[in-house]
C-alpha cells in the first residue's frame, strides 16, 4: 500500500525499500570512511584490491536488483511464507538468494579484512539473512556476519595478538548472541504477524459469508412479505365473500319466505304485507351488502349495542319465520369492540338463517353471555339436526359456506365456533370470542 507520490505507508513496504536501497547506502558510507582512513589501514596494493572488491559488490547489487525487478514483473511478490509473514525480497529464499548472500558476505568479509570500516556495509547481513536464506541456513549466515563484525570491532582481521584474539572471541560471542536473540524475536513477530494476517483473512471470509447470509435473509424476508401480502389479500377476499354471501343469503331467504307466504294467502291485505316485507328485506340486504363492501359494521349496530341489536334481530326473525324464539342475556354487559359486536351479530344472523332454511324447528333460543374475559353466543333450535360428518362441502346446495364462514369470522378474533348436533336432536351453535379482541 502506497501513499500519494509513491511514499511507502506500511512497515512491509518500508522494509522492502530498505532491502533494495539500504545496501547501496551502507556501501557508500563504508567506502567513504574507508577511503578517508585508507592510509591508516591499507597499503597501495590493498587499496587497489579494496577498490576492485567495492566495484564487484556494487555490480553484484545492480545485478541482484535487476533480477528482483524481473521477478516482481513476472510473478509479483509471491505468496506469504507460512511462518515468515509477507515476502520482503522477491524470489527469496531460493538458490539465487543464497548465492547472492554467500557472495556478498564473502566480499564484505574481504573488504573488512582490508579495512575494518567496511563492517558498516557487512552489517547488512544481520537484516536480510533470515529473508534471503532458508531457515536452516539463516543462523549460519548470522554467525558469519558476526565473525566479520567482531573482527572489525576487535581492531581488524586477522587478530594480531592474544589480547586481540580474546577481544575477538568476546565480541563474536556478543554479536552472535545479539544476532540470534534479535533473529528469534523477529521470527516470533513474523509468526504473530502471520497469525494476525490469517485471522484478518478469516474475518474477511466470515464477513463475506455474513453478507451473503444477510442478502439471502433479505431475499427470504421479501418473499415472506410477499407471501404474507398475498395471504392477506386472499383472507380479505374470503372475508368479503363471506360477508356478501351471508348478507345476501339471509336476505334472500327472508324474501323467498315472504313471497311464498304472499302466494299462499288469499287475503289481499296479508299478501300485500308479505310483499312489503319482502321488499324491505331486499332493500335491507342490498344495504348490508354495500356496507360489507365498504367494510362498515352491520346497520343493526349503527345505533344499538350488541344486546339490543340481537334482540331486534331475533324478534324480527321470529316474526318473519313464525318460529317461537327466546333471546337471553347473561352476565354483566360490557362495552365491546366494534369488530367483536359485528362478528357475533353476523354469526347470529347466519345461524338463524340456517335454522330457517334447514332445521324445520318449532322453537329456538339465542343466548348472549358475558363470561369475564370472553363473550359467548349460543343459538339453539329443536329442529331435525344433521350429521356434521356428512355436511355438504362449501358451495353445495346445503349452504355449508355458512358454518365455515362463522368459524372464519371467530378465528380472525382468536375465537372459535363449536357445533353440537345429531339427526333428530336439534342444533346448537356456540361462538366464543375474547373480550379483548381484536
Kindly provide the b/e burial profile for residues 391-428, where b requires at least 16 CB atoms within 10 angstroms of the residue's own CB.
Answer: beeeeeebbebbbebbbbbbebbebebeeebeeeebbb
Which residue would you say has higher pLDDT here, 206 or 1?
206
Residue 295 — very low, low, confident or very high, per pLDDT cuts 50/70/90? low
Is residue 127 over pLDDT 60? Answer: yes
Which tens digit of pLDDT belongs to each residue from 25-50? 999 999 999 999 998 888 999 999 99
Which tens digit of pLDDT belongs to each residue from 231-266? 766 776 776 777 677 667 777 878 888 888 888 888
Mean pLDDT of 323-332: 92
Please name the residue that has the C-alpha cell 579484512: 113
Is residue 188 over pLDDT 60? Answer: yes
Mean pLDDT of 16-24: 91
Asked if residues 164 and 154 have their Cβ atoms less than 8 Å apart, the reply is yes
Spatial distance between the Cα atoms of 234 and 242, rounded to a whole number of angstroms: 12
424 SS3 class: coil
Work out the mean pLDDT of the chain and round it to a whole number: 85
DSSP class of 395? T
Percent of the chain at pLDDT above 90? 39
What are the start-end ranges of the H helices in 93-161?
95-114, 119-122, 124-132, 135-153
Q: Edge-to-edge strand order for the sheet containing 363-371? A: 324-330, 363-371, 374-381, 427-434, 416-421
pLDDT at position 399 is: 42
DSSP class of 331? S
Phi, psi dihedral angles at 158 (to 5 degrees): -80, 160
In sign, the C-alpha dihedral spanning 233, 235, 237, 243 is negative
Residue 329 — very low, low, confident or very high, per pLDDT cuts 50/70/90? very high
pLDDT at position 339 is: 83
β-partners of residue 376 are 369, 432
DSSP class of 262? H
Which residue would you say has higher pLDDT here, 414 or 430?
430
Residue 338 — very low, low, confident or very high, per pLDDT cuts 50/70/90? confident
Closest CA to 297 of 265, 353, 345, 357: 345
Which tens digit of pLDDT belongs to each residue from 77-123? 776 665 556 778 888 788 999 999 999 999 999 999 999 999 999 99
CATH class (in words) of the domain with range 299-389+400-437 = alpha beta
- 429: cell is 351453535
Mean pLDDT of 45-65: 94
Mean pLDDT of 366-388: 91
Count CB neighbours of 298 within 10 A: 21
The pTM (predicted TM-score) of the whole model is 0.49
Asked if residues 383 and 360 have their Cβ atoms less than 8 Å apart, the reply is yes
pLDDT at position 243 is: 67
Amino acid at each position: 500500500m502506497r501513499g500519494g507520490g509513491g511514499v511507502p505507508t506500511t512497515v512491509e513496504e518500508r522494509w522492502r525499500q530498505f532491502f533494495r536501497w539500504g545496501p547501496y547506502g551502507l556501501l557508500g558510507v563504508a567506502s567513504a570512511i574507508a577511503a578517508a582512513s585508507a592510509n591508516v589501514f591499507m597499503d597501495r596494493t590493498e587499496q587497489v584490491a579494496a577498490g576492485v572488491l567495492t566495484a564487484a559488490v556494487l555490480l553484484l547489487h545492480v545485478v541482484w536488483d535487476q533480477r528482483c525487478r524481473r521477478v516482481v514483473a513476472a510473478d509479483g511478490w509471491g505468496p506469504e511464507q507460512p511462518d515468515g509473514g509477507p515476502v520482503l525480497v522477491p524470489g527469496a529464499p531460493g538458490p539465487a538468494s543464497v548465492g547472492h548472500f554467500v557472495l556478498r558476505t564473502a566480499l564484505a568479509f574481504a573488504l573488512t579484512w582490508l579495512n575494518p570500516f567496511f563492517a558498516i556495509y557487512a552489517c547488512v547481513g544481520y537484516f536480510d539473512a533470515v529473508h534471503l536464506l532458508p531457515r536452516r541456513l539463516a543462523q549460519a549466515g548470522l554467525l558469519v556476519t558476526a565473525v566479520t563484525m567482531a573482527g572489525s570491532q576487535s581492531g581488524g582481521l586477522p587478530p594480531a595478538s592474544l589480547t586481540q584474539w580474546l577481544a575477538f572471541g568476546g565480541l563474536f560471542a556478543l554479536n552472535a548472541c545479539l544476532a540470534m536473540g534479535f533473529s528469534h524475536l523477529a521470527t516470533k513477530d513474523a509468526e504473530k504477524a502471520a497469525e494476525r494476517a490469517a485471522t484478518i483473512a478469516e474475518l474477511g471470509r466470515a464477513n463475506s459469508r455474513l453478507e451473503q447470509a444477510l442478502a439471502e435473509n433479505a431475499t427470504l424476508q421479501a418473499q415472506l412479505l410477499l407471501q404474507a401480502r398475498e395471504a392477506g389479500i386472499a383472507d380479505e377476499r374470503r372475508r368479503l365473500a363471506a360477508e356478501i354471501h351471508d348478507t345476501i343469503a339471509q336476505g334472500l331467504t327472508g324474501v323467498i319466505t315472504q313471497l311464498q307466504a304472499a302466494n299462499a294467502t288469499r287475503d289481499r291485505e296479508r299478501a300485500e304485507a308479505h310483499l312489503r316485507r319482502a321488499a324491505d328485506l331486499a332493500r335491507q340486504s342490498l344495504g348490508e351488502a354495500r356496507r360489507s363492501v365498504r367494510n362498515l359494521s352491520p346497520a343493526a349496530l349503527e345505533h344499538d349495542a350488541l344486546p339490543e341489536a340481537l334482540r331486534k334481530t331475533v324478534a324480527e326473525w321470529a316474526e318473519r319465520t313464525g318460529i317461537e324464539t327466546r333471546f337471553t342475556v347473561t352476565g354483566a354487559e360490557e362495552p365491546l369492540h366494534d369488530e367483536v359486536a359485528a362478528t357475533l351479530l353476523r354469526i347470529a344472523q347466519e345461524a338463524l338463517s340456517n335454522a330457517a332454511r334447514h332445521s324445520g324447528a318449532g322453537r329456538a333460543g339465542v343466548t348472549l353471555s358475558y363470561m369475564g374475559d370472553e363473550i359467548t353466543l349460543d343459538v339453539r333450535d329443536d329442529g331435525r339436526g344433521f350429521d356434521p360428518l356428512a355436511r355438504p362441502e362449501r358451495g353445495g346446495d346445503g349452504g355449508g359456506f355458512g358454518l365455515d364462514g362463522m368459524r372464519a369470522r371467530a378465528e380472525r378474533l382468536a375465537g372459535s365456533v363449536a357445533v353440537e348436533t345429531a339427526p333428530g336432536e336439534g342444533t346448537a351453535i356456540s361462538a366464543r370470542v375474547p373480550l379483548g379482541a381484536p
